[in-house]
Structure formats: structure tokens, C-alpha cells
Structure 1
């Protein structure tokens, strides 16, 4: 009887260890759908469900990804995100998607999605993409039309178009609300601002340089 007991204990231990991991993802649906009620002011972890009697096919549809995003900005990039705010039917389903447009020389600057893994497919053009793991190792690759690349959840990543023509891709994300943290914007454009001393020490530059960089981000607000 000793061996079966050990196996049961091991199974319970594995289940206990796995439980916190399961809780880290978007809540699982307990019904066919839970369309987000945009009119509700109740704050919950996710979105309040709309009355099923008021749900229509339009709650599950989004139109616009066929249109190129406006890349006339300093980065030469535009992300059109289809999350639960844009598509209420995504509520509790744990997925979202986006269209990424990059002008020639355009960059989607280093950023993270704190709640989602991302998988990107290049539809037109070429992109140099990559991410950094928690040791600082870079995983990067040049992608061509039809190529796919995955960015693990929460890790800093980027996309750059080094070509002479525009490029765009379609991304899937494993959260209805992936979140976005742009690294440079968060550090140099924070409000209230991070002190010059902190940034100067972190980046091994002087306070005057910090001020010059902060000024660049202040003009984009």
C-alpha cells in the first residue's frame, strides 16, 4: 500500500503546484458567452456580462483590419488592437488580436504585454523581430511573408521594418486585455516623472542627458 499512497501524494503535490499557474490566466467562461456590458460601471476582474437577451451577432464581430493603419508618426508604426473594448464578445474568452503596420524604416518600439503571449504572422513585407529573455539574451530573426514568430508572455519585444516598402502583420494574443508597456515611454515619459537621479544611475548617463531624453517624450503627449 505504500507505493499507491506515494503516487497519490505526488499527484496532489503536482495539482497544488499547478493551481497558481492556472489562476494567472484570464478567467474561464462558465457559460456559452459573456459579452462585455460597456454601459456597466461595476468594476470586476474582466468585464460585467451583458444580459444574454440583449446580445446580437454584432457583439461578436469587428470590421477594419483590412485597412492599413496610419504610420505617419515618429515611429512609423501603427497597431490596431482588437481587444475586449473593441469586440465585447471576447469577454472571458482569453484571446485578442491586432494588426501591425510598419512604414519603411518603421519601428514598433520595445514593449511588453503583461498579460499575454503574442504570435505574429507577417502578411506583407519583411520584419526584423525579437525579444529578450530574463537573462538579457536576445532571440531575433528576419521574417518574410507567411513567417510566424512568438513572443512569450511579459517579455520585452519589438518589430522593425528595415525594408524599402511597407510591411504589415496580424498578431494573436492570449488575453482579452493584453496590456501594453512601452519601455522607453514608461521610464522617460512617466507621470509623475521618475527622478533624474534614478534614470541617470540606471542608464549610466548624466542628469542633463536624462533631461534631454525626457523632453523628447514630453513633446509626444
Structure 2
């Protein structure tokens, strides 16, 4: 009798798990009039949608790389392309000038990069501090496993070596945490940053001035 109860409860748990992964709607274009929740944004009324709601043209335009990283990023995520809401996918365009970088960062999901114009030095660091990196050329793809720190660098030494890549992520809102910005674009006290990074005061203040941090 106990065994039958255990089997029943286990079967019920599996059924509920599978059922929760099955969407009751085919799509859910985000309605920004309401706050986002754990499952994404509420849906717009399908009766008010047109084909244009399912098209995003932003990835055809180079991003602005006038920044310390010499990097232009264009996002096709739920906030910029509402039709992605709840579908578990997004894309980015990376325009990397000569000497530019996609600084070391992480997401809560996995990422796949496709190089359109290179070369690009690309890699990630695993939980054992092992670095996996290689120079990628046109047509190469690389996977960055979920949550791991990763980066890209344009190592070209001539102006014409402008790098372009597209990435896809398995979330409509993958989350982005750039290590440099997380440290130097906030009000975390400089003396604390000095201790946790082993940088000296001059370096910390220089980085805070560059990225808009205070304190």
C-alpha cells in the first residue's frame, strides 16, 4: 500500500512537471503596461496583433561602439522585441572595433556565438578556473555554457579588421552581468573594491571615473 502511494505521488509529480512545461498559448507578445513576473510579461490581446509584431529589424544596423570597450551591442530580447516573451530565445549583434572587446561577463543561460567577420578571440572560464579559448574565423560557432564567465576580443591591428558576430541565448531575458561594470559603475566603497580585487586606490578611482561609479 505504501509503495502504491509512493508510485502515485511520483507519477503525479512527473505529470505536473511535464504539464507546467507545456504552454497553453502559442505565443505571448509582451504587454509593457504591466510589470514583468517570473514567467515574463503578460500578453497583449491577440486580436490587436499584426505580422509586424513578430518582426524585428534592429539587427541589420551596426551598434554604437563609442565606449571604452569599442563595442556596439544590439539586443533582440523581450524588452526590445516583445514577441520573444515566453519563447525562451533571444539574439544579439556584436560590432567589435579593432582592439575592442566584449568584456568578461555571464548570463543565467547558455549562449551560442556565430562569427560573421573575424577573427575574434573567444572563450570562457569554467568553475575550476580552466580557460577554454580560441581564435574564431568567419563561419565558426562556439558555445558558452550556462552561467560561466566568457568574452570576445578583436585582436586585429588594422582598421579594416572590424569584427561582427551574432549570438543566440536560450532565454527571452537572459540577464547580463559584466564584471567590470558590476565593480566600478556603482557606489560600492572604493576601499572595499581595493580589498576584494587587490587593485590599488589609483586604479580603482580611475575605473570608477571611467564607468560612472561613486563613493
Q: TM-score, normalised by structure 1?
A: 0.81
Question: Which of 119, 132, 136 matches 1:139?
Answer: 132
What is the match of residue 58 of structure 1? Answer: 52
For 1:101 and 1:43, the matched residues in 2 are separated by 29
**How big is the shift at 1:31?**
0.9
3-state DSSP of counterpart to 2:172:
coil
3-state DSSP of counterpart to 2:88:
coil
What is the match of residue 64 of structure 2? Answer: 70
For 1:42 and 1:125, the matched residues in 2 are separated by 40
3-state DSSP of counterpart to 2:60:
coil
Question: Unpaired segments of 5 or more residues in structure 1?
Answer: none
**How big is the shift at 1:196?**
2.3
Deviations 1:27-71, CA, capped at 9 Å, x for gaps? 763211111113x22442210101111111111101132222222
Question: Which of 142, 145, 152 matches 1:152?
Answer: 145
For 1:42 and 1:213, the matched residues in 2 are separated by 34
What is the match of residue 84 of structure 1? Answer: 78
Change in 2 beyond 3 A, CA 1:210/1:72: closer
3-state DSSP of counterpart to 2:195:
helix
What is the match of residue 184 of structure 2? Answer: 188
Aligned Cα RMSD in Å?
2.5
Match status 1:107 vs 2:101? yes
- Assess if the C-alpha contact under 8 Å between 2:58 and 2:76 holds in 1: no
Deviations 1:178-216, CA, capped at 9 Å, x for gaps? 1111101111112xx112232112122333432233222
For 2:22 and 2:134, the matched residues in 1 are separated by 34
Match status 1:166 vs 2:162? yes
The total of aligned residue pairs comes to 200
**How big is the shift at 1:112?**
1.2
Question: Unpaired segments of 5 or more residues in structure 2?
Answer: none
Deviations 1:102-161, CA, capped at 9 Å, x for gaps? 1111111111122x2110000112100111112221111110000000111221111111
3-state DSSP of counterpart to 2:58:
coil
